[in-house]
Amino acid sequence: MAFLEVNHLNKYYPITDSERFHALKDIQLSFDKGELVSIIGESGSGKSTLMNLLGGLDSQFEGEIVVDGQNIGQFKEKEMVAYHKEKIGFIFQSFNLVPHLSILDNVTLAMTLSNVDGKTRKARAKEVLEQLGLKDHYKKKPNQLSGGQKQRVAIARALVNDPDIIIADEPTGALDSQTSDQVLDIIQDIAKTGKLVIMVTHSERVASRSTRVVTIDDGKIIKDEKREPLQLHDNALELKARQENKNLSFFAAIRMALLNMREKLSRNILIALGGSIGIMSIILMLALGKGVNDYLTDTMNENVNPIISEARMTEDTQSDPDAVSETVAVAEAVPAQQTGMGGGGIGGNLAANNPAAQLSKNIPFEEENIAELEAIPHVEKLELAYASFSMGSDMVVYEGENYPFMNFGTTSENMTDSNILHGAFPEQGEVLITEEMAENMAGDAEAMIGEDVEVKLSVNGNALNGTYTVSGIYTAGNAIGPAGAFDSVFMTMDTFADMNIANGLTVEPNVVYLFADETSNSQEIKDAISGLGYAGSSTDTLAKTFTKMLDIFTYILAGVAGISLFVSAIMILTVLYISVVERTQEIGVIKAIGGRNKDIRRIFVSESFLIGLFSGVLGVGIAALLSAIGNVAVERIFGTTILHMTPTYALLGILASVIISVIAGVFPANKAAKLDPIEALRHD
């Protein structure tokens, strides 16, 4: 049985739905290894069609093509890819070298597709190139070679995988006569190694060098002439036997993509720069949101102890709904814009629906409530306190003048040293007053320290009063809350208890401070307080509200910035479509030498992956630079930084860039993978 047999081969091309052109008509041929066959005929005779069928570039035919006992007409993609890699080597008239690859890389291309390791690839390619007289040209590009040298490179590429069949399409068509003779000598030497060499030509001169000439005309074999056979030699070109063929690896695809991108370096840099703008914008928006959020958190922690959580009674948690201070009616009359500042410092609390009312509901804690709070996990201890919010009923009398204040509370460990502007925290028989209130009394706030004042309070409709010494001046700093927004007076719980006793009353605490065993557990305690139906600190409530609004604002800005990512995706898609057109012939070559559709797709997707990666890294770098510059400028003006970029934002930015780029690259990659190899090879 012959190595290659063609039995009743017919090829049709559709013209219309009902009409077909009969290109090859019942072809019957057989070839053996060691033959140097010329298929000769005029243009349009069908010789190129026959070549494409024998080479597996076209699989649509009727009849049989049997190679080494296998019918290639029954091959699936996997078998056809193996056929191209192991059985066939192509030599093209126009060389079809990849212009941006070096001579060495052009020759190793077929082995790269077979996932041969780099060291072996280079060694085998150099060996073949050296035997073909191209030892000193490894690093040159195709445009630096003569026509004869280019054809030798094409021959080396065809030989490097040690195929059984070499198909040469007009191998001397673009060469002068002297160079043609040199190329034909090489082709003869290839046939002498025992390979089947099939040349497609219209030149009688080329055919005269063959051991067999098959003449084709109008799709029919009209002559099959056998001449003197070649004297075969054992491996005349000293070619090493092929290794087991595999498929293109991910890293090989990345390397090929890098080589392709290097060819259009300026264009790819501009694409990456364009894509980086969107990534940079999104990261900066997120960094701004985090910076403001961190600023709010730090500001709160400066004025309250972060290990302490606050709890207050609500109508849902009280056992006696009638036990509510009459100050509720007063508070409900306070304009929302006034109480909207509440929440922070001491005595602050905010209800979701009516901040003013919640601030002033003096609902006392009962023993069962205190026990319930004490049972919350991670609570180390409790501190009972009292706070009230009134309008016009509480005042300080100094030198005969009345100075009304709205916020009253007992001191606790929740207050920090940063709250004390002058003086110290009050002890027994002392009070702490706010800075603005002290200035109204004495002009200079510090001058009020050591002065005696009379404090008048209205607690649950009962009038309380007592004379106390001012121990210090309170400031809420940048904190938000009633203590920061309104004139306030503070005293110790013991002093307040004595005040009640002196007026025939009993202290009923309406604020409980819960101390966490660790700062990290504070949020869990706050969540538990809320879960049990108690009101938490207005500082936390307002902070959550501001944070939520800030998050929404940040995400909106990031979304607007993200539009540029969509634009960059379209840009990548367009550029890769252009790249497919520019590299159509290269795609045809890759398919002819054993590249799968998956390999073509992988190469182009790898390019989009790299573009996305470069865009993301560039965007992160620019964002980091602008953040540093912006923070320096803001810190000089406001004394704080506002752009807090995190590694998470950087990773998310790079990941988003890569994902969007890969998605954009899938469409042109699929287009490239679906190209017909015959049409691609003809593309100019």
Closest CA to 657 of 600, 609, 599: 609
The single residue listed with the structure tokens 């159509």 is 584
Radius of gyration of the chain (CA): 44
* pLDDT classification of 480: cutoffs 50, 70, 90: very low
Q: Please list, in sequence order, all residues whose beta carbon lies within 8 angstroms of the beta carbon of residue 313, skipping any fewer than 6 positions away.
A: 361, 363, 364, 365, 369, 510, 534, 535
Residue 348 has pLDDT above 70, yes or no: no
Residue 452 has pLDDT above 80, yes or no: yes
Domains observed in the chain: 4-246 (3.40.50.300), 252-300+545-682 (no CATH), 355-533 (no CATH)
Query: Quick one: what percent of the chain has pLDDT higher than 70?
Result: 88
Residue 213 has pLDDT above 90, yes or no: yes
The rounded mean pLDDT for the chain is 84
Residue 354 has pLDDT above 60, yes or no: no
User: What pLDDT is stored for residue 64 in this prediction?
Assistant: 94
User: What pLDDT is stored for residue 38 in this prediction?
Assistant: 94
d(CA 444, CA 184): 108
User: What pLDDT is stored for residue 338 in this prediction?
Assistant: 34
User: What pLDDT is stored for residue 360 in this prediction?
Assistant: 41
- What is the 8-class DSSP label of residue 285? H
The single residue listed with the structure tokens 């003013």 is 356
Task: Report which secondary-structure segment, H or E, holds 76.
Answer: none
User: What pLDDT is stored for residue 344 in this prediction?
Assistant: 37
* pLDDT tens-digit series, residues 232-263: 665 555 555 455 556 788 888 888 888 888 88
Closest CA to 198 of 68, 91, 94, 44: 91
* pLDDT classification of 357: cutoffs 50, 70, 90: very low
Q: Please list, in sequence order, all residues whose beta carbon lies within 8 angstroms of the beta carbon of residue 183, skipping any fewer than 6 positions away.
A: 148, 151, 152, 155, 171, 172, 175
Mean pLDDT, to the nearest integer, of 160-168? Answer: 91
Q: Please list, in sequence order, all residues whose beta carbon lies within 8 angstroms of the beta carbon of residue 16, skipping any fewer than 6 positions away.
A: none
User: What pLDDT is stored for residue 51 in this prediction?
Assistant: 93
* pLDDT tens-digit series, residues 557-611: 778 777 878 888 888 889 889 989 988 999 999 999 888 899 999 999 999 999 9
Question: Contact 226/59 with Cβ under 8 angstroms?
Answer: no
DSSP SS3 for 222: strand
What are the start-end ranges of the H helices in 160-264?
A: 177-192, 204-207, 250-263
- CA 234, 240, 245 angle in degrees (round to 5)? 130
Question: In which order are the strands placed within the sheet that holds 196-201?
Answer: 88-91, 165-169, 196-201, 36-40, 212-217, 220-226
User: What pLDDT is stored for residue 641 in this prediction?
Assistant: 87
- What is the 8-class DSSP label of residue 481? S
Question: Contact 482/406 with Cβ under 8 angstroms?
Answer: yes
**260-274, 517-531, 544-558: which has the minimum mean pLDDT?**
544-558
Mean pLDDT, to the nearest integer, of 18-26? Answer: 92
Q: Rounded to two decimals, what is the model's pTM?
A: 0.70
* pLDDT classification of 346: cutoffs 50, 70, 90: very low
Checking phi first, is residue 33 left (phi over 0); if not, alpha (psi -120 to 50) or beta? Answer: beta
User: What pLDDT is stored for residue 539 in this prediction?
Assistant: 67
d(CA 472, CA 17): 100
d(CA 654, CA 659): 9
* pLDDT tens-digit series, residues 276-317: 988 998 899 889 888 888 887 777 666 667 888 889 888 776
Q: Which residues, in sequence order, are bridge partners of residue 201?
A: 40
Question: Cα dihedral sign for 540, 541, 547, 550?
Answer: negative
Residue 266 has pLDDT above 80, yes or no: yes
Residue 373 has pLDDT above 90, yes or no: yes
Mean pLDDT, to the nearest integer, of 408-428? Answer: 87
**42-56, 72-86, 96-110, 477-491: which has the minimum mean pLDDT?**
477-491
Q: Which of the residue ranges 80-84, 174-178, 484-488 has the most confident prediction, judged by mean pLDDT?
A: 80-84
* pLDDT classification of 350: cutoffs 50, 70, 90: very low
Query: Quick one: what percent of the chain has pLDDT higher than 90?
Result: 43
Residue 186 has pLDDT above 80, yes or no: yes
Q: Which residues, in sequence order, are bridge partners of residue 432?
A: 472, 490
Checking phi first, is residue 477 left (phi over 0); if not, alpha (psi -120 to 50) or beta? Answer: left
